Amino acid sequence: MPAAPESVTRLLRQWSAGDKRALDELMPVVYDQLHRLAASCLRAERPDHTLRATALVNEAYLRLVSADVNWDDRVHFFAIAARTLRRILVDHAKSQQRDKRGGGAEKVEFDEAVVIGPQTGAGIIELDLALQRLAGHDPRKSEIIEMLCFGGLTYDETAAALQISPATVHRELKLAKAFLHRELIRGPS
C-alpha cells in the first residue's frame, strides 16, 4: 500500500537535514513507485533491451542518494527521479549504440499521445536530443513531458511541481507534443 505523500515529504526533509535513518526509512516507501516508473519506461523500449527495471531502479537509487538536493516534497523527488531514469536510459542507449551499432541512427516516430513505442537504442537518443532542443526553446514544456512521460506524475502533480494550473499543463503538453513530433520527423540538426 502506498505511503501517504505527507510521510514521504517528511522523510525527504529529514534526510535533507542530515538524518541518515530517514533515508533508510524512505527507500522502502518509495521503492515500489520507482520500480513502477522504471518498468513503465522500459515498456517503451525494444523487447530485447538489456537493462531491467530492478537494475534501472538500483542505478537511479545510487544517483538519487548521491545527489546534493534539498528535497521539497514527494512530487519534487519523483520529478528528479524521472529525470534520473531518463538520463540512465539515454546513457545506456548511447553505450549500446557505441558498442554494438556503430553509431548509426534510426528515425523515430513520435505519435500524438506521447506514447513512446518499442525503439532501438538510437530512438531514445533521438527523443533525448529533441527534448534538449525543446528545453532550449521552452524549459517548462520539456519538464512537463519529462514529469508526465518519464516520471509517471499526474497532471495535478505536474502542475503542483511547476506551480501552474492543470489546464496550463494540458495546454502546454499539446504544444510540446507538436514541437517534439516536428523535431523527430525532421531529425537531428
pLDDT in tens, 13-40: 998 888 889 988 998 888 888 888 888 7
- Given a cut of 50, whether residue 114 has pLDDT beyond it is no
Closest residue by Cα to residue 179 from 154, 155, 144, 152: 144
| Whole-number pLDDT of residue 165 | 93
Parent domain of 108 = 5-186
Mean pLDDT, rounded, of the chain: 80
85-100 pLDDT, tens per residue?
888 888 888 877 765 5
CA distance 126 to 27: 32
- Please provide residue 71's backbone torsions phi and psi, each rounded to the nearest 5 degrees: -70, 130
Q: Calculate mean pLDDT across residues 149-171.
A: 88
C-alpha cell at 55: 537494475
State the total domains in the chain: 1
- Is the distance from CB of 37 to CB of 79 less than 8 angstroms? no
34-76 pLDDT, tens per residue?
888 888 777 767 766 677 888 888 888 888 888 888 888 888 8
CA distance 89 to 137: 23
